[in-house]
Amino acid sequence: MSFAIGPYRLDSRVLLAPMAGVTDPPFRSLCHRFGAALCGAEMLTSDQTLWHSAKSRRRMDHRIESGIRTVQLAGAEPAQLAEAAKMNVALGAQIIDINLGCPAKKVCDRLCGSALLSDEPLVARIFDAVVAAVDVPVTVKIRTGPDSATLNAVRVADLAQRAGIAAIAIHGRTRAQRFEGQAEYDTIRNVKQHVDIPVIANGDITTPAQALAVLEYTGADGVMIGRGAQGAPWIFQAVNEHLGKVKKSSAPVLQDLQDDCAPIILEHLESLYKFYGEHTGIRMARKHLSWYCQRLSLPAPARGELMAAADSASQFACAERWFGGAHQRRSMIMTGT
Ligand SMILES: Cc1cc2nc3c(=O)[nH]c(=O)nc-3n(C[C@H](O)[C@H](O)[C@H](O)COP(=O)(O)O)c2cc1C
């Protein structure tokens, strides 16, 4: 069953997790096309004095956005977050997401993200201020708590619901865990049992089977995939097929999608060059190409050549050569030739 965030009924139950430096508009558009119902944007500081940077300006740019336009704000001062939310709605944001999940102690020199989870009264003031400031849905992304001794996600979710927050996403790790250990889903399940607003489960979901298992175990309305989508934007289609949301193509679906990946990767490169320009475009592309190489098990020289390409034309040509041959190489491996 799909669910709604405010007035927006989502097409499916699988969402792209926000990742700074990864979920830029080109990648979000690609994931949306493959069926990610909502694509989390990279966090933006609520401190407007820092918005002149190219990075911040890009994070407010929705021109090529094909899905629902979200902006995720990181900050610690309720009034500043409220003002930043208003400005972004004026610039086209359709959902404002509050970042209470980033494990870094300071973001842009200010205490924010999951560091705020230990100050519940402040969290409540932030929720109230942002919800009152805008007439679009406000969502929040949290962790399970500051540390294993203080798993306060249920209390934070309760504060969110009381304040009128439209949905809550929970990464199943504490702040102290950063990205270590395994995500746990018991706390997410507890949250789901305590609140009525949509709950989105996140953490270590990398396959369609895991997505289904987490949905069933937690009772969550949706799942959010982050690192599992790096170099694999097609994972959303595979998950949707597994959940019965879209018609199944021949199994195994992930393999089929990967076999047809060359045009997708090349289109991704083109949109990165266009969005960032030549200089930053090839640098951003290197990161994604490296993930594509891993996913498709390309041989080491492929990665080496792709990383060494110094301009977009040679990078593109190199990608065309290596990824265009991915299907053929895979057939050779599979038939043992
Ligand atoms: C490179 C990277 C950047 C991230 N940036 C953000 C961010 O800007 N905002 C946020 O709420 N979470 C951010 N996260 C956390 C992810 O949204 C997600 O909660 C986490 O990666 C766990 O999900 P996964 O196991 O599916 O990757 C980031 C994670 C990674 C790996």
Q: What is the pLDDT of residues 120-155, one digit of tens each?
A: 999 999 999 999 999 999 999 999 999 999 999 999
Task: Give the pLDDT score at 222.
Answer: 98
| All residues at 6 or more sequence positions from 154 whose CB lies less than 8 Å from its CB, including other chains | 187, 190, 191, 194
Residue 221 identity (one-letter amino acid): D
Task: Give the pLDDT score at 184.
Answer: 98
Task: Give the pLDDT score at 69.
Answer: 96
For residue 45, give the 3-state DSSP assignment.
strand
Task: Give the pLDDT score at 253.
Answer: 55
Which tokens belong to 300? Answer: 């080491």
Q: Is 15 close to ligand 1, i.e. is its CB under 6 Å away?
A: no
Q: How far, in Å, CA of 255 to CA of 25, rounded? A: 26
Which tokens belong to 301? Answer: 């020289």
Q: How far, in Å, CA of 222 to CA of 167, rounded? A: 10
Q: How far, in Å, CA of 22 to CA of 146, rounded? A: 25
- Per-residue pLDDT tens, the chain, 337 aa: give them: 789 999 999 999 999 999 999 999 999 999 999 999 999 999 999 999 999 999 999 988 888 888 999 999 999 999 999 999 999 999 999 999 999 988 776 665 567 787 899 999 999 999 999 999 999 999 999 999 999 999 999 999 999 999 999 999 999 999 999 999 999 999 999 999 999 999 999 999 999 999 999 999 999 999 999 999 999 999 999 999 999 876 665 444 556 666 678 999 999 999 999 999 999 999 999 999 999 999 999 999 999 999 999 999 999 999 999 998 655 544 433 333 3
Q: Is 285 close to ligand 1, i.e. is its CB under 6 Å away?
A: no
Q: What is the mean pLDDT of the chain?
A: 91
For the question of residue 102 being annotated catalytic, the response is yes
Of 16, 73, 171, the one to substitute when testing ligand 1's pocket (max ligand atoms within 8 A of C-beta) is 171
Q: How far is CA 73 from the centre of its chain?
A: 14
pTM flag (> 0.85): yes
Task: Give the pLDDT score at 332.
Answer: 39
Task: Give the pLDDT score at 256.
Answer: 63
Task: Give the pLDDT score at 334.
Answer: 36
Atom of ligand 1 nearest to the CA of 17: 17
Angle formed by the axes of helices 186-194 and 208-218, to 10°? 50
Which tokens belong to 126? Answer: 């932030």
C-alpha of residue 205 to centroid of ligand 1, in Å: 12
Q: Is 227 close to ligand 1, i.e. is its CB under 6 Å away?
A: yes
C-alpha of residue 77 to centroid of ligand 1, in Å: 22
Catalytic residue among 39, 102, 112, 261: 102
C-alpha of residue 50 to centroid of ligand 1, in Å: 22
Task: Give the pLDDT score at 109.
Answer: 58
Q: Is 214 close to ligand 1, i.e. is its CB under 6 Å away?
A: no
C-alpha of residue 226 to centroid of ligand 1, in Å: 6
Q: How far, in Å, CA of 84 to CA of 319, rounded? A: 39
Q: How does pLDDT run across 28-51, given as a tens digit for each residue?
A: 999 999 999 999 999 999 999 999
Task: Give the pLDDT score at 326.
Answer: 54
Of 19, 143, 144, 205, the one to substitute when testing ligand 1's pocket (max ligand atoms within 8 A of C-beta) is 19
CB 16 within 8 A of CB 39: yes
Q: What are phi and psi of 326, to 5 degrees?
A: -60, -40
Task: Give the pLDDT score at 66.
Answer: 87
Q: Is 228 close to ligand 1, i.e. is its CB under 6 Å away?
A: yes
CB 208 within 8 A of CB 242: yes
Atom of ligand 1 nearest to the CA of 202: 23
Looking only at the bridges linking them, the beta strands covering 110-111 and 106-107 are: antiparallel
- Largest Cα–Cα separation, the chain: 64
